[in-house]
Structure 1
Amino acid sequence: MKEQQQTEGGEGENEDGEEGEWEDEVQEPPPPDSLIRTENQLSYWSGISADVNGMLGGFPSISTVDLRGSRAFLVKLGIGKTKGLHKIERTLEGGAGIGRITKGLLVDISQTVDVVEPIAKFTEELSQTPGVGQIHNMGLEEWPPSTSPSTTTDDDSSSSPSSPSRKYNLIWLQWCLGHLTDTQLVAFLRRCRDVLVSSSDSSPAPAIVVKENNATSDADLFDDLDSSVTRTDEKYHALFREAGLRLVRTELQNGLPKGLYPVRMYALKV
């Protein structure tokens, strides 16, 4: 979770300290996502504590309201464990961290939850959680695996540890897509699209849910602290279309403290 970046702008000064126009042409800055460096991301997250405070950037108190908003959003997609809703067969969580969402939401509404998380120390305890299936310690840009084995928990020991053909009823992606470039994000979403179960074989229809910060400026913003990008709502719409996905529902997360980026949920279907 991140606070909004504050930026200030002004006219340049000449060498005498007086305000004026720059003599040289101002070059266009590089696209924010071109500044992303995976090695810097891994270095940052490797130094973060494996607890809710670390996962939420010093705002652990928002976890309850975040999970409540996510649960309510899924209900509107027909997914849940109460009467009239459907508990689905298999879910994938990308960028799962310590499994805050997996344990706090997804195992309640899904028979099995597979996770993707590059930092192995975050998933050590998660592997002992009932309902958790495969754990892939790799970046989203590397998933699905082709030959390298992943961790398989005891209750899922019959499955192939590196099966890229596994199908999912739900794919949950929260506060992780900012670590991918635009090109990587589109490619990843296409791979997610390809591993959703057939609509005819699932009720409710399979979906990808994205829950991410939105930039409030008119352009994406790069954060060099964790080498990530905060995208605008308009950029997400464009990338979803490029990935061949339909936006069927979107809502803002309510109840977050002032000063944080707005958080928006997107439900995507083929």
Structure 2
Amino acid sequence: MLAARMVDAVEDETAFYSKAERYWQEVPPTVDGMLGGYGSISSIDINGSKKFLQRFLGDGKGKTGTSCALDCGAGIGRITKRLLLPLFRTVDLVDVTQEFLDKAKTYLGEEGKRVENYFCCGLQDFEPEPGRYDVIWIQWVIGHLTDDHLMRFLQRCQKGLRPDGLIVVKDNVAYEGVVLDEVDSSVCRELALVRDLVCKAGLRVLHEERQENFPDEIYQVYTLALR
């Protein structure tokens, strides 16, 4: 279903969220499950993300610190394991599915000792601790939030940042309008709409780029650094 706005695509907000929760409860807690059967793209994804993120990290004016990161919609911790724990001293995970967080505790292995918090919560209700995070990483999950909830969540994330902290959104973008996925109860927005919601949340896009080398049949994926 193609719509010009999210509000046209989603008629019942409560059902939109509960249907998504039910969908993820049926998904196996594996990398392939997290990636909808596209487990083979995980390394390409992580390498692209690392290259994107490292331009902001380090010492010096305006650079982002590396003490603590938050993985939003973390699932079993695929991004935490391969991207965040190698770069940050500690990491927190938040996901709506308890089974995924339970699995993360074994999937992350020895390095998982540096995970401080596992939050089981939908992002529409999650409140990051103010001033805690250097980087808040939000990947393949904004489609599960309504426009209003996404804007409010980004505002709460901004409050959750340390000085010179960074919010990173990496997600599918539609070629036009808003596309509703009835199966997992999510939407895919065109890039202009994502930028517009970021702006309305009071944030600005510092940098954006398209993820390269993904299969042609999946949506194009963009990464945006926000502050």
TM-score normalised according to structure 1 size: 0.75
2 CA distance for matches of 1:39 and 1:229?
Answer: 14
Provide Cα deviations, 1:116-156, integer angstroms capped at 9, x if missing partner.
101000011323522211111010011127xxxxxxxxxxx
Superposition pairs of residues 185-204 of structure 1, within 5 angstroms? 185-198=150-163
Q: Which moved more, 1:177-186 or 1:121-130?
A: 121-130
Query: 2:123 maps to what in 1?
Result: 140
In structure 1, the gaps of 5 or more residues are: 8-27, 146-163, 199-204
Correspondence 1:250 to 2:215 = no
- The CA deviation at 1:166 is 5.2
Q: Which amino acid aligns with 1:209?
A: V
1 CA distance for matches of 2:40 and 2:6?
Answer: 36
1 CA distance for matches of 2:87 and 2:226?
Answer: 18
1 CA distance for matches of 2:205 and 2:90?
Answer: 25
Contact 1:33 1:182 in 2 (8 A): no
1 CA distance for matches of 2:91 and 2:49?
Answer: 16
Question: Is the radius of gyration larger for structure 1 or structure 2?
Answer: 1
Superposition pairs of residues 121-132 of structure 1, within 5 angstroms? 121-127=99-105, 129-132=112-115
Correspondence 1:59 to 2:38 = yes
Q: Which amino acid aligns with 1:192?
A: C
Provide Cα deviations, 1:200-237, integer angstroms capped at 9, x if missing partner.
xxxxx210000000001x21111110110001000011
In structure 2, the gaps of 5 or more residues are: 107-111
Contact 1:46 1:119 in 2 (8 A): yes
RMSD, aligned CA: 2.2
Bigger fraction of residues in helix = 2
Higher relative contact order (CA 8 A, sep 6+): 2
1 CA distance for matches of 2:36 and 2:218?
Answer: 11
2 CA distance for matches of 1:214 and 1:33?
Answer: 17
Query: 1:207 maps to what in 2?
Result: 166
Contact 1:248 1:268 in 2 (8 A): yes
Provide Cα deviations, 1:142-183, integer angstroms capped at 9, x if missing partner.
1127xxxxxxxxxxxxxxxxxx33511100000011000000
User: 3-state SS of the aligned residue for 1:248?
Assistant: strand
Distance 1:173 1:30, change over 3 A: closer
Query: 1:105 maps to what in 2?
Result: 83
Superposition pairs of residues 231-242 of structure 1, within 5 angstroms? 231-242=189-200
How many residues get paired?
215
Query: 2:109 maps to what in 1?
Result: none
Contact 2:6 2:187 in 1 (8 A): no
User: 3-state SS of the aligned residue for 1:58?
Assistant: coil
Contact 2:69 2:88 in 1 (8 A): yes
